[in-house]
């Protein structure tokens, strides 16, 4: 069967493409603004990607078109799809029908931490020899791919609350029918489709309604909004987690390292072992507790799960070290919500101590571009020594107010090449540059690393030239 995917370079639809290809289908797709890691993953799979959304990509007509939620009415390919009567479905609908229907689905939902928790859970199951299938909104280093079919019965999926498609405005996760559901946290986000946090709580309640009574809901017992959501109605056994403890939390964390690279796992107050791993930050302790509890429901012994965490190698674009030049480290992170920004900066601060942190943020998400979180941005960046805000020409609000709130630490840039150049000139050995965006940020990471290399190469050449001159003078 020929499956054509519209919006194929999104992390979710790219994962759908990988699963369809693994299932033996011929897969093609199209998108705009293609960038790694999904573009490179699709290329490695031999999936052809057309640029743009012209109607010609439907010639000859595929057997079915899977429509990503980036697509809207009025786009030429969408109008051609409808006019010609070509069969179509959303990605979640196809996934539910073709992949998940006979699986034990473990779904990870929440405003923050979905990608990390899903990756941890998939790795724990894999380490236990269960070879789960998975679909993750990122690329875990342990797997080198965002999706795989795996071996039944287990399938781990990142359960997104964003809407499904232009013809299905329900949250994606209502299609998945998990037996094990993880609820990490709940905050206001996706302001382009949800008017308030109550409407998001309602979608999470709809997810809760799909979990069978014989299943399990693993939830963050310290999150008041999740507690409100569950109070709307719950018919499934609950198992709570909370790093510092909370009413209803079975899984908690004991003493450990200041940067949370080591912590004790407690089950109902009883020690079950110590995690020592490469991740940092308090938020990742919560993610680990959630993954441990969900894996335990699937039958993985806690000792085996803790063992797996020690070998977890992280995820592309989650505090990923992209390069180091003369002791200046450049990190890439997906953070794009004030809560995630604050916890990411805090985690890095705990790791680097008094070394300088230079935070660089692209307000790229729809919610950010609408300015919904603008008053929370400066406080979320307070842990950085310097904060740069990239301001694209079509940003819908005045970023200067954030820069003013940051005082002497605030900076603003309207052009990415100039931003890379200005950063490269001002950085010094021992600095940590934390670049945060939910997109490719115009290749800023690579441009900055290249500019740093060029700067220090020139300096070394100048020093060598000066030394040679001194030597010639001495020999006269």
In tens, the pLDDT along 307-364 reads 999 999 988 888 899 999 999 999 999 888 898 899 899 999 999 999 999 999 998 8
Q: How confident is the model at residue 468 (pLDDT cuts 50, 70, 90)?
A: low
Q: Which of 279, 278, 273 is nearest to 292 (CA)?
A: 273
Domain 2-92 fold is: Rossmann fold (3.40.50)
Q: How confident is the model at residue 472 (pLDDT cuts 50, 70, 90)?
A: low
Cα 140 to its chain centre, rounded Å, is 10
Domains 2-92 and 102-309 are alike in CATH topology: no
pLDDT at res. 141 = 93
Residue ranges of alpha helices (H) inside 87-218 are 91-95, 114-127, 197-210
Q: Which of 50, 46, 41 is nearest to 12 (CA)?
A: 41
Q: Domain spanning 320-459: which superfamily? A: Mur ligase, C-terminal domain (3.90.190.20)
Q: Which of 439, 184, 123 is nearest to 134 (CA)?
A: 123
Share of the chain above pLDDT 90, in %: 78
- DSSP labels for 303-366? HHHHHHHTT---BTTSSEEEEEETTEEEEEE---SHHHHHHHHHHHHHHHTTS-EEEEE---SH
Looking at the predicted structure, is the pLDDT value of residue 395 above 80?
Answer: yes
Distance CA 254, CA 242 (A): 11
Contact present, 413 and 435 (Cβ < 8 Å): no
Structure tokens at 329: 């480290």
Looking at the predicted structure, is the pLDDT value of residue 369 above 90?
Answer: no
Structure tokens at 109: 């939902």
Q: What's the pLDDT tens digit per position in 60-93?
A: 999 999 999 999 999 999 999 999 999 999 999 9
Mean of all residue pLDDT scores within the chain: 93
Average pLDDT over every residue of 427-438: 95
**Strands 320-325 vs 328-333: parallel, antiparallel or unpaired:** antiparallel
**SS3 of residue 31 by DSSP:** strand
CA dihedral sign, ordered 61, 62, 64, 68: negative
Contact present, 75 and 30 (Cβ < 8 Å): no
Q: How many helices (H) and strands (E) does the chain have?
A: 15, 23
Residue, of 55 and 470, whose pLDDT is higher: 55
Share of the chain above pLDDT 70, in %: 96
Looking at the predicted structure, is the pLDDT value of residue 36 above 80?
Answer: no
The ranges assigned to domains in the chain are 2-92, 102-309, 320-459
Average pLDDT over every residue of 164-180: 97
Torsion angle defined by CA atoms of residues 265, 269, 272 and 273, in that order, rounded to the nearest 10 degrees = 50
Q: How confident is the model at residue 245 (pLDDT cuts 50, 70, 90)?
A: confident
Largest Cα separation within the chain, whole Å, is: 92
Region for residue 359 given its phi and psi (left: phi exceeds 0; alpha: psi -120 to 50; beta: otherwise): beta
Contact present, 368 and 341 (Cβ < 8 Å): no
Cα 213 to its chain centre, rounded Å, is 30
Looking at the predicted structure, is the pLDDT value of residue 463 above 70?
Answer: no
Q: Residue 265: how many CB atoms within 10 A of its CB?
A: 25
Whether the link from the prior residue into 80 is cis, omega within 30° of 0, is: no
**SS3 of residue 144 by DSSP:** coil
Structure tokens at 453: 């290399």
Contact present, 355 and 383 (Cβ < 8 Å): no
Q: How confident is the model at residue 191 (pLDDT cuts 50, 70, 90)?
A: confident
Structure tokens at 245: 């403890």
End-to-end distance of the chain based on CA atoms, in angstroms? Answer: 81
Domain 102-309 fold is: 3.40.1190
- E strands, 350-448, where? 357-361, 386-390, 410-413, 432-436
């Amino acid at each position: 069967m020929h499956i054509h995917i519209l919006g194929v370079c999104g992390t979710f639809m790219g994962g759908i493409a990988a699963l369809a290809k693994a299932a033996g289908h011929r897969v093609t797709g199209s998108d705009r603004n293609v960038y790694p890691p999904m573009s490179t993953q699709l290329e490695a799979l031999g999936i052809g990607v057309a640029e743009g959304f012209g109607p010609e990509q439907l010639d000859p007509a595929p057997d079915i078109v899977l429509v990503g939620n980036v697509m809207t009415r009025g786009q030429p390919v969408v109008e051609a799809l409808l006019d010609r009567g070509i069969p179509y479905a959303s990605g979640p609908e196809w996934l539910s029908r073709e992949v998940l229907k006979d699986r034990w689905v473990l779904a990870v939902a929440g405003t923050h931490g979905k990608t990390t928790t899903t990756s941890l859970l998939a790795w724990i199951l894999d380490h236990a020899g269960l070879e789960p299938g998975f679909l993750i909104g990122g690329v875990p280093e342990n797997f080198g791919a965002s999706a795989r079919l795996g071996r039944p019965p287990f399938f781990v999926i990142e359960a997104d609350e964003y809407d499904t498609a232009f013809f299905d405005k329900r949250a994606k996760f209502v299609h998945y029918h998990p037996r094990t559901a993880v609820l990490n946290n709940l905050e206001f986000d996706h302001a382009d489709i949800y008017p308030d946090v109550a409407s998001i709580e309602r979608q999470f309640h709809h997810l809760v309604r799909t979990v069978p009574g014989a299943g399990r809901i693993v939830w963050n017992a310290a999150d008041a909004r999740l507690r409100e959501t569950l109070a709307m109605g719950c018919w499934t056994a609950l198992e709570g987690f909370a790093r510092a403890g909370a009413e209803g939390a079975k899984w908690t964390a004991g003493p450990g390292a200041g940067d949370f690279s080591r912590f004790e796992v407690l089950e109902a107050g009883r020690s079950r072992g110590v995690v020592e791993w490469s991740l940092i930050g308090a938020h990742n302790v919560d993610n680990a507790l959630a993954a441990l509890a969900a894996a335990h429901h699937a039958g993985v012994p806690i000792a085996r799960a803790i063992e797996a965490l020690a070998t977890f190698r992280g995820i592309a674009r989650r505090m990923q070290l992209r390069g180091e030049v003369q002791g200046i480290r450049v990190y890439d992170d997906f953070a794009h919500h004030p809560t995630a920004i604050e916890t990411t900066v805090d985690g890095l601060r705990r790791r680097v101590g008094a070394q300088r942190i230079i935070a660089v943020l692209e307000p790229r998400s729809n919610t950010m571009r609408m300015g919904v979180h603008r008053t929370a941005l400066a406080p979320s960046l307070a842990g950085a020594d310097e904060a740069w805000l990239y301001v694209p020409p079509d940003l819908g609000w005045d970023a200067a107010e954030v820069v003013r709130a940051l005082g002497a630490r605030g900076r603003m840039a309207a052009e990415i090449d100039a931003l890379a150049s200005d950063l490269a000139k001002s950085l010094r050995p021992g600095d940590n540059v934390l670049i945060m965006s939910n997109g490719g940020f115009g290749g800023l990471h690579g441009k900055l690393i290249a500019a740093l290399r060029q700067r220090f190469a020139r300096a070394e050449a100048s020093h060598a030239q000066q030394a040679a001159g001194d030597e010639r003078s001495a020999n006269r």
